[in-house]
Amino acid sequence: MSMQATMEAKLAEAFSPERLAVINESHLHAGHHHVEDGHVAEFDGKGETHFRVRIVAPAFAGMGRVDRHRAVNAALAVEIKAGLHALAIEAAAPGEAVRW
C-alpha cells in the first residue's frame, strides 16, 4: 500500500471525516536541498515525502488550530517516523469556511 493510501485510511479511521484529501506534493519540491546521511543533497521530487492533508471532520469542533494539527500528527506518527518529510494540514470542523 502506498504512503498516500495508508495516510488516507488512517485519517478516515481516526476522524470519520466528511471530506478528506491527501495530496502528494513531493514533485513540487524537486530541486530543494535537504540533508541525507549527513550530506546536503538535492531532492529529486520523486516518492512520497511531502503531503498536504485537507480534512473536515466533526472531531475538530471546538479544537484550535494547534490541537487539530497535533491530532493529525498523532494519527500519522508512524508515517512521520518512517520518513514523511513535510505535512501541510488544513483541518476544519463541519460548517467552517475552507479555502478549498
Tell me the domain boundaries of the chain.
Answer: 3-92
- List the beta bridge partners of residue 39: 36
Model confidence, pTM: 0.80
Between 15 and 43, name the one with better pLDDT: 15
Q: For the chain, give the mean pLDDT.
A: 86
Question: How is the beta sheet containing 50-56 ordered, strand by strand?
Answer: 19-24, 50-56, 86-92
> What is the band of 85 on the pLDDT scale with cuts at 50, 70, 90?
confident
- List the beta bridge partners of residue 23: 52
Between 56 and 29, name the one with better pLDDT: 56
SS3 40: strand
Which class is 3-92 in CATH? alpha beta
Q: 65-75 and 3-15 helices cross at what angle (nearest 10)?
A: 120
Tell me what pLDDT residue 39 has: 57
SS3 74: helix
Between the two ends of the chain, the Cα-to-Cα distance in Å is 27
